[in-house]
A and B are shown apart, each in its own frame.
Chain A
């Protein structure tokens, strides 16, 4: 018995150290120069915590080792995916995290029932409800991002009513189980209904809303892990879950602000409503288009260039060509910077990672608030694969569905160039008045090919 108590102390101290390392790990993420220390701290904390857990009295190790090896075997390829596949990988890992939490919660219920105290039953219910809806929701999100599932949002009348109704039934079952924890036959419904809810929650969501959804699912995954910490009385798990939950929450708030949606709107999954209103005006308005040669000449003569990348750049895999353009212009003494909208891409920070992968220095990547004041002094704003986040209608047109959404003020630059496949409206189906401005040149073509042509023209135009 004394031996047991001694072990117990060691384990708790190890968990305490691991908790401190986890907090430090996030603390160090605040700057790119210390961020890799953060990863080290997290890894050490994790190894310590797992080692500490293996010290528990009376453990059988065989299956633990098999499972750890299997998990590592799956984890390594998931850690080596292409940078363009990071959003779907992240969604998939939310699904795995939620799966773990749900399975442990289920096992705990059947081991303890009918002797489950009320509070424990309540957090256990929260754990499995959040866990199972995050599991299927994240799988759906991953499927949409990987383009296995249609990216188009599917909406129908009364969708929110059906979804919230389902959730209400699951909560009602949870309340009943808190009163009657012997009701074992009801437990599968408390998992099954949120599993369905998770699918339905993500069905109406289109690609452009993915950053918000991924953040929200991140938050749910964290909260369900924290709830699991309450059930198992594990302080380390509560802390890690709370950290993850608050991280996801903060990101969701940032994303919903950047999309001009209220947070309650996001919480209840009402996002992704297709905005059909302004798409009607299809009469051809005149636009100015330019060739790669003309674009290259204007860029070469500029002092200040701001590149605005969007998801289209990622789709066209144009980031490495953009890097060549950056090199070519920088060599000529042109100052090139990048303006990153918070919801550019498919997850928070997506564009930064892609541009960093292409070796563009991160001090050239600026947030919306930091760059917006500089557009009036900018000679050329080059928009690559971004649309709605540059739409000046968001500032001026109160009738526009995106009115009020914070945008990059590219229309204030002296010249605007937009690389675009054609004149089709963006995701939200909203026409972009930017394209019809006197100062705007449309560069029609594939982003990668067009940037390549510009780089070639710059190279041909003599060197300085």
Chain B
């Protein structure tokens, strides 16, 4: 557990830095789709919920798990869908890409 914890902290630190560096470069133009995209990615929490339902260790945990899977899946599906819809609308007036 001890080394796992340290590993996990390192991963968190590195991912946070990558997040800062990558997201800092995103123009304000795309901030709304950015938020709906990160929201969909964040719904990866569905994995924890799926395991909870699949392992069925207790009725209580399975019921909470099912609700959690429903909530997160709606974010995955809705998030990707609306992000793509928004991005489709962004068009440039120049005929070709710069």
Contact indicator per residue, chain A 58-72, by CB within 8 Å of chain B (1) or not (0) = 111101101110111
Residues of A with C-beta under 8 A to B75: 75, 93, 96-97, 100
Q: Is A33 an interface residue (CB 8 A)?
A: yes
Chain A interface residue bracket vs B: 35 or more
Q: List B contacts of A104 (CB < 8 A).
A: 45, 48-49, 52, 64-65, 68
Residues of A within 8 A of B73 (CB): 67-68, 70-72, 74-75
**Cβ contact of A251, chosen from B31, B61, B79, B93, cutoff 8 A:** B31
Pair B46/A80 contact, Cβ less than 8 Å:
no
**Could you tell me if A35 and B1 are in contact, using CB atoms closer than 8 angstroms?**
no
A195 at the interface (CB under 8 A from B): no
Q: In the complex the two chains form, what is the Cα distance from A61 to B62 in whole Å?
A: 12
CA distance A241 to B47 in the complex (A): 13
Bound complex: CA of A237 vs CA of B35, how far in Å?
A: 17
Which of B47, B64, B78 is the one whose CB lies under 8 Å from A79? Answer: B78
Q: A39-B80, A61-B54, A242-B15 are in contact. Are A221 and B42 (CB under 8 A)?
A: yes
The answer to whether A294 has its CB under 8 Å from any CB of chain B is: no
Given contacts A23-B18, A104-B45, A218-B39, contact A230 B87 (CB under 8 A): no
Tell me, rounded to whole Å, the shortest Cβ–Cβ distance linking A94 to chain B.
7
Q: Is A274 an interface residue (CB 8 A)?
A: no
Please list 28 pairs of residues, one from A and one from B, whose beta carbons are closer than 8 Å in the complex, sorted by A's number.
A25-B37, A30-B25, A35-B30, A39-B87, A63-B53, A63-B62, A71-B76, A74-B74, A76-B78, A79-B79, A79-B81, A96-B71, A97-B39, A97-B45, A106-B64, A119-B5, A225-B44, A233-B8, A239-B11, A240-B45, A242-B12, A246-B20, A246-B23, A247-B19, A353-B33, A356-B89, A357-B89, A359-B89
Chain B interfacial positions (CB closer than 8 Å to A): 1, 4-5, 8, 11-12, 15-16, 18-20, 22-58, 60-62, 64-94, 97
